[in-house]
Every structure is written in structure tokens, then in C-alpha cells.
Chain A
Amino acid sequence: MKIYTKNKDFIPERFFNKVEMNTIRKENKVIILFLIINLIAFPFVVQNISETKESSKLNRNSNREEGKIKLEDISIWVKNLMKDNIEEAHITNNGGDIIVNNLSDIDELSSNGFIEIHDMNLNDNEKYKLGVSLHE
């Protein structure tokens, strides 16, 4: 639609005022339409916000639970590692390294139902370094 300027192009004042009024009315209509759309959408938006909040809370809780070390696991580690044949043990988050002197000790650990051996290395002191974790 053509844009008119007051006192320009010989446009009569009454016509200019009419066009201005129509423009204002149209703008108001658009604003009202936006308000109505917002009012209709408001409950859905609030619901979505609360849902996302709850889900983020749950995620945080589950993450915390995952990160926690159970007391039972600690007792399993203690029972199985506090033995004379185990030279050294470094355990963090239910996994780590164990150093043993000979192969019979490795046999004993592998027959243990609680501990799983992932890898095995022979270090400079001719001792065996085992990568271990708890059986899931």
C-alpha cells in the first residue's frame, strides 16, 4: 500500500487522516492478534518450561547417583585386595591397577568372581601390573 505524507503530493487532509486511522487500526489488530496467540500459547509454554526443569532435575539426581561409590563395592575391594600376595593397588571409581609378584596370584584373582582383569603388563621389576575393575 502507498505511504502518504501530510501536506505532500496534494493529498487532501481528510483522506490522509482516514489512511492514518486505518493504519493505526490495522496495527492495533495485529497487536491484539499477537496477544491472543500469546495467551493461547502461555499454558503450553509454562508446561514445557516446568517439564524441562523437572527432567533436568532428574538428570542431575541420576548423575549424582552414578557418580557415588557404593559402600558394598568398597568392602569388596578391601576384602579382595588386602592380601599378602598383592604388592600394590591403585583403585579409583571401581577400577584401577594391581601389582602382583607371580602368575599364580593372577590365577587366583581371575578365578575371583568379583574382580575382572582387562589387561596385564610385566614391569621393570619383573612384577605383573593388572588393569582391573569390578564385575558389573
Chain B
Amino acid sequence: MRKSIIFIKKNYCTYDGKKYDFNEFRKLSGLLTSNIKVVILQEELFVSHFENTVRRCKLCNFVDSKIRNDFPQNGDILYDFEKRGNVISIYSIKGSKRVEKVVEKAINIEIKPIQFIIKDVLMKIVRDNNRNFKALIKYDACYYYVSFRDRLYHDGFVSENKHIVEEKLLKKGDLEEIYVDDSTVDIISDNNKSKAKKVNIGEFINENIYEKQRFHSRKIF
């Protein structure tokens, strides 16, 4: 069945290139299929790592208790988790209330923050054995900085303002091995420009979202 792909932003969502306010959601719900993919944009993704030897069968209970005790209970946070070795990573992102509205009548849903899509795309592009890398990407008028350690999401930030991005990057200092695209290459300071690797990631992000076949002949770097 055809997937309806919706982009959720801070104040509105877009479907099929058109903007929809969350108050006029009824207009949108008639257009959607029961199979929905939601891409969360403009929201910061947080991660908390816990070291624990809990077994996989009890992992859900462990994560549930951690979420109840260590995370804010405002009912607007979405979670994901994964376990690698003894490290359990719990990811959280704002937007539960908006997503709930969109998927109200759906049967099958898939929710992905843009940071996870960037991660998936970069993992495929970065063919060397580098397990620690960073990226500054501009997607849909918003800048996304993501950093991975051991191929796990470590930290990141989101901003629409170029100057804020510059300031935050300067605070971070070491920008060794950072992947940038056409729109963000000028942000990286002169000192770090030589270390920055330019990638044409925008199209790959769209292909990942719309699940199209990738053509390897295209120039990546």
C-alpha cells in the first residue's frame, strides 16, 4: 500500500508539498492512507546512555522504568532505544502530541527524526572505518549538527539561524572530520575548512525518506 509521507515541524506539517496547520488537521486526515511515515524536523534529538547488563527480554521494562524516573513526563516526548554490548542508549525527541494527531487513523506507522535519516545516509556514504564522525547539514531551511561516537549518536543541535550555528560550533571547537554540504561549508571556520569533507547529502536524504533506489554512479564527494 502507498505510504503517506508527512514532515512534522514545530508549528505545522507538510504533506505532498502543502502546509497544514495542526488545527486544520481534519482536512489533511482525509488525504492520508492508513500507512504513514512521519519525518520529524526542527526538533533536537537527545540521547542518554546507560551501562547495564540487563538481558534483552527485560530490556523493555528497564527502559520503561528509566523513562519514568529520569525523563520529563510532559506527554510530548517520543522515545527509541537500542542496546550495544552493555550500553543501552535511550533517544528522545519532542513532538508526541503532533505525531499523535497525524497518525490518529493510521494502521501502520513509521516515525523517523531527520537526525536518524542523516545517520543512515552518512553510514552508507562513509565507507572508511571511521567510527567517530560529525556532520553539519542544511535540510529544508534548518541546520542540523550531529555527532557520532562509535557509530552511535552522541550529540547534536538544530537551528534555523546561521549565526547561532556558527557560535555553537565555535564553542564545540574541535571539528575534525566533519561532513558538510554545499549550504554549510561556508559556516565552518577557516581553520577547520581543510578538515571538512563536502558531501552531496541532500538528495540522499530525500531518497532515504521517499525510499527510492540509489544510483551509485552519482558523485557523492
Contacts and interface: CB of A to CB of B under 8 A. Distances in A.
A and B co-occur in one complex: yes
Contacts, number: 47
B64 A10 contact: no
Interface residues of B, number: 25
Determine the main DSSP class of B at the interface with A.
strand
Contacts of B112: 10
B60 A9 contact: no
Interface string B39-77: 010000000000000000000100110010000000100
A14 B100 contact: yes
Interface string B90-102: 1101001001100
Contacts of B103: 12, 15
Contacts of B91: 10
Interface in A13-65: 13-15
Contacts of A10: 40, 78-80, 91, 93, 99, 111-113
A1 B64 CA distance: 24
B63 A2 contact: no
A68 interface: no
B110 interface: yes
The contact size tier of chain A is 10 to 19
A20 to B, nearest CB: 13
B156 to A, nearest CB: 16
B64 A11 contact: no
A2 B108 contact: yes
Contacts of B40: 10
B12 interface: no
A11 B108 contact: no
A9 B99 contact: no
B111 A9 contact: yes
A93 interface: no
B107 interface: yes
Interface string B118-147: 000000000000000000000000000000
A7 B96 contact: no
B175 to A, nearest CB: 29
Nearest to B93: A10
A39 B166 CA distance: 74
Given A10-B99, A12-B99, A15-B106, 18 more contacts: A6-B64, A7-B60, A7-B63, A7-B81, A8-B79, A8-B80, A8-B81, A10-B78, A10-B80, A10-B111, A10-B112, A11-B78, A11-B109, A12-B96, A12-B100, A12-B111, A13-B75, A15-B100
Interface of B: 40, 60, 63-64, 67, 75, 78-81, 90-91, 93, 96, 99-100, 103, 106-113
